Structure 1
Amino acid sequence: MNGSITNKFGEVYYSNEVLAKMIGLSTMECYGVVGMASKNSTDGLWKLLKKENLSKGVKIQTKDNQLFIELYIIVEYGTKISVIANNIIQRVKYNIEKFTGVSVSRITVNVQGVRV
């Protein structure tokens, strides 16, 4: 989905990569998140992504101008996963709707690992 924002000054166009980076950065702001995860296709293992590749832990689907977001994260040991997931959902939904004006329909948080 290549989206756009229109105001009295003109139009701003953005790509899925921009949305994915915004979502990845919003996720990393949440307490208890160690990082985003990416599946290694050769051996099927999940690995921790560096800050430059946060968008690889995000999958975006669009339908009728609504976003369906799937996140793959690694959490910190000793934190309550339900609280972390709820915090991520609220923050990502707020940031994306505020900055882009696109309605977020569903956010799925997949915990792929726990780090000490």
Structure 2
Amino acid sequence: MKGSSMNTHMGNITIDKEVIAQYAGTVAMECFGIVGMGITVKDVVKLLRKDNLAKGITVTINNNKLTLDFHVIVSYGVSILAVSDNLIDNVKYKVEEFTGMEIEKINIFVEGVRVID
């Protein structure tokens, strides 16, 4: 399955993983200390086709629960722990509110550090 499906009294709702990844990417870029998204091997092919906010994010759905993997670039001089805590809190709240699905786990992989002018 490419996404998640929920049954409601009005019918079925299906959310594609790419939609969840794009929304999570937008939320991540709003977080203090995050200056960019890293590139996973899977994203190299996507980047050749188009640039989007889902790069650096992998969404896994298991029993209607989400696991999100973020590959991020952080700002030089900030606490990686503080940035990670902020990212987890914001993404968990906003993505759960947006999708109606529970986030089981958020993994953060710091791929680089960038000096901001």
TM-score by length of 1: 0.81
Mind listing any 5+ residue stretches in structure 1 that lack a counterpart? 42-51
Cα distance in 1 for partners of 2:13, 2:101 equals: 13
Cα distance in 2 for partners of 1:57, 1:99 equals: 20
Cα distance in 2 for partners of 1:56, 1:77 equals: 21
- Is 2:97 the counterpart of 1:98? yes
Q: Check the 8 A contact 1:62/1:68 in 2, yes or no.
A: yes
> For residue 99 of structure 2, what is the amino acid of its counterpart?
T
Q: How many residues are paired up?
A: 106
Cα distance in 1 for partners of 2:27, 2:98 equals: 12
Q: CA deviation at 1:21?
A: 0.2
Aligned residues with identical type, % of pairs: 37
SS of equivalent residue, structure 1 residue 70: strand
Q: CA deviation at 1:11?
A: 4.6
Q: Check the 8 A contact 2:72/2:111 in 1, yes or no.
A: yes
Cα distance in 2 for partners of 1:112, 1:53 equals: 18
Q: 1:64 to 1:11 in 2, by over 3 A?
A: closer
> For residue 23 of structure 1, what is the amino acid of its counterpart?
A
> For residue 64 of structure 1, what is the amino acid of its counterpart?
N
The match for 2:26 is 25
The match for 2:68 is 69
TM-score by length of 2: 0.80
Q: Check the 8 A contact 2:40/2:55 in 1, yes or no.
A: no
Cα distance in 1 for partners of 2:41, 2:18 equals: 20
